[in-house]
Amino acid sequence: MSNSDDEEGSHAQWSGPWYLFPPIRNALIAAVIAILTFGLSLFDFLPLLVENSLYAVAMLLGGFHWLQEGFEELIDEYEIGIEILMLAAAGGAVALGLWEEAAFLVILYGAAEGVEEYTFARTRASIRSLLDLAPEEARLITNGSTQMIPARELDIGDLFRVKPGESIPTDGQIVDGRSTVDQAAVTGESAAVDKQEGDQVFAGTVNQEGVLDIEATTPFEDNTLSKMIHLVEEAQEEKGKSQLFIEKFGGVYSPIVLLVALGLMIAPFVVGLQSVWARRAIVLLVAAAPCALVMSTPIAIASGIGRAGREGVLVKGGIHLENLGKIEAIAFDKTGTLTRGEPVVTDVVAFEGTEDDVLRQAASVEQYSEHHLGEAIMNAAAERGLEQTEVSEFSSITGYGAQAQLMEETVYVGKPGLFDRFDLDIEEIQEAENLQSEGKTVVLVGTPNRIIGVIALRDEPRPEAKDVIDDLHEMDVDVLMLTGDNEETAQAIAAELGIDDVRADLKPEEKVEAVKELTAKYEAVAMVGDGINDAPALAQATVGIAMGTAGTDAAIEAADIALMADDITKVTYALQLGKRAQEISRENIVFSLLVLAALIPAALLGVIGIAIAVVAHEGSELLAIGNGLRVRRG
């Protein structure tokens, strides 16, 4: 069993045909030599010395890679691995004069190991192929003219142009132009995203419509695509708890198997049964080698991490993918996670004139305001096609709202407390109370003499949030909200989305305490936030999931799982992938143990010979590999 998941050799990221992959190629050539030798030997065409020499050549060729790995492990780490068991079995077969059985063993084991290494190499190559999405050349802008240069020469501050249909060579900020950009390669988003001056763009994404002039914010080798690939490759090297346990078990188990086999050869020698038990000892070395067991977890983990990376979900280690499969409860931050992160107008109540009149007057006063509520009111007016009226004597009233002279009277727009200075019965406005009870922020529009209308705003839930919560409930995952927002607003959002538990008015340190309580109650807890403000809570959770982290180093570093897109549906995708990887790993472990439970007694009782043991052993390893690859296809 090779350590191909840790391999960094020349074929660690193979992208050529499978039959030219060096370990598989060598095994195929060795198989041809062995089969031809066996065929010729049936007709006594070859002297025995020549026949055995050809088998020896086939064994050296077919076993070159795994023998090298076995000796390196023995010399460098003082560990007896599965390769040493296979070497002992082949050596024992040769000592007994079973040259064809020895060759059969070495070649089949070499082929199985080659398939395993090829699988890992292709997994690495599939994520690295994302680099091919970035163009090799960039259109550099200098002194108003453009020239083509290698994309790798782009540096921070360089200005480059991307035409419609072209890929963006490195991360940057648009300085001129607007377009839609397909970001699927980086974020996993299915729909193209509108981009304009001031927006970020990422390497490997595709400009679909307009011409964009972009200022590079990272050099080519450090762009988001490159960092993504590096993170995925690092994560595939990280081992989960199951894999670490199985490897530790294998480190003890393999020497024991070797000692037992040696005992079977030596002990019966005294009573003259050495030939029978020597054969059984050799069969035992093959039958008891735990290849499929050791392969049961890493192939599923590596496949899952690679597949997730291509979907814009960065899993930063095997242990985190394993933990995703164990999640029993998930806690969401509210603002910017379950909600859009920006207020929108939800209701307009007119006491004088029409709703449009109220919204037009409010937008006219707010047109000079920089407050986010004022911006939301102006956006709502623009959506209705309402034109703002020119105002004069505008002034902002800190903490309350704004005022301006409109149509020869002063109009105020702000929270109810703004109107306390006037002799108005605002407490009697039932509509405002009803809207506030729904968790909405109420803005009054009026003059010193009367209230013209009420505008309600709220940071609305994402359209897909309800479906995500429903999907999590179907997966038997409890859903909670941890937010610093007020209780009334939090409860209103939670009721709308169907969230099980709400904890509001929380400071950052109180979120951490809440997550601690949850981890004491559940086997595994996930926390979803923005990766920066919620970093302490993300770190406390079993699995911390940061959303919308494309191009944000701090957010990626803060979490165990980084969702490149601002897409909450990727949370359920990540959990489903984790559960699938866990299920397939368990299937492989159970299957491998059953194979060992069948082969070991059969070997000791002499029911099977070397050939059957080899076929069963290598066949089980290939089945474990194939089953593990189902994670990538799921």
Tens digits of residue pLDDT in 153-163: 999 999 999 99
Distances in Å between the alpha carbon of 574 and those of 322, 520, 548? 11, 23, 14
Among 63, 66, 73, 60, CA closest to 1 = 66
* CA atoms of 324 and 559, how far apart (whole Å): 13
* CA atoms of 236 and 239, how far apart (whole Å): 8
Distances in Å between the alpha carbon of 37 and those of 56, 61, 92, 430? 11, 15, 21, 96
Contact 127, 309 (CB under 8 A): yes
- Residue 91: which residues within 8 A CB-CB, separation 6 or more? 102
* CA atoms of 440 and 490, how far apart (whole Å): 10
* CA atoms of 54 and 63, how far apart (whole Å): 14
- Residue 400: which residues within 8 A CB-CB, separation 6 or more? 414, 415, 417, 418
For 86-110, give the DSSP string: HHHHHHHHHHTT-HHHHHHHHHHHH
Residues in the chain where the model's pLDDT stays below 70: 1-15, 126-127, 130, 188-190, 235-236, 238-240, 268-275, 427-428, 531-533, 550-556, 558, 634
Contact 67, 87 (CB under 8 A): yes
* CA atoms of 368 and 370, how far apart (whole Å): 7
Beta bridge partners of 251: none
pLDDT the model gives residue 565: 82
Residue 33's CB is within 10 A of a number of other CB atoms, namely: 18
Q: pLDDT by residue (tens digit) across 451-503?
A: 999 999 988 899 999 999 999 999 999 999 998 877 888 888 899 999 989 99
Contact 401, 443 (CB under 8 A): yes
Residue 28's CB is within 10 A of a number of other CB atoms, namely: 18
- Residue 161: which residues within 8 A CB-CB, separation 6 or more? 139, 141, 146, 211, 212, 213, 214
* CA atoms of 28 and 238, how far apart (whole Å): 32
3-state secondary structure 150-211: EHHHCCCCCEEEECCCCECCCCEEEEECCEEEECHHHHCCCCCEEECCCCEECCCCEECCCC
Pairing of strands 478-482, 501-503: parallel
Which of the residues are catalytic?
333
Distances in Å between the alpha carbon of 42 and those of 51, 99, 615? 11, 14, 22
Among 601, 567, 169, 623, CA closest to 340 = 567
CA angle 17, 18, 21 (to 5 degrees): 95
Contact 132, 192 (CB under 8 A): no
* CA atoms of 537 and 481, how far apart (whole Å): 12
Locus of tokens 């259109």: 139
Contact 86, 288 (CB under 8 A): no
pTM: 0.75
Tokens (6 digits) for 314:
């960065």
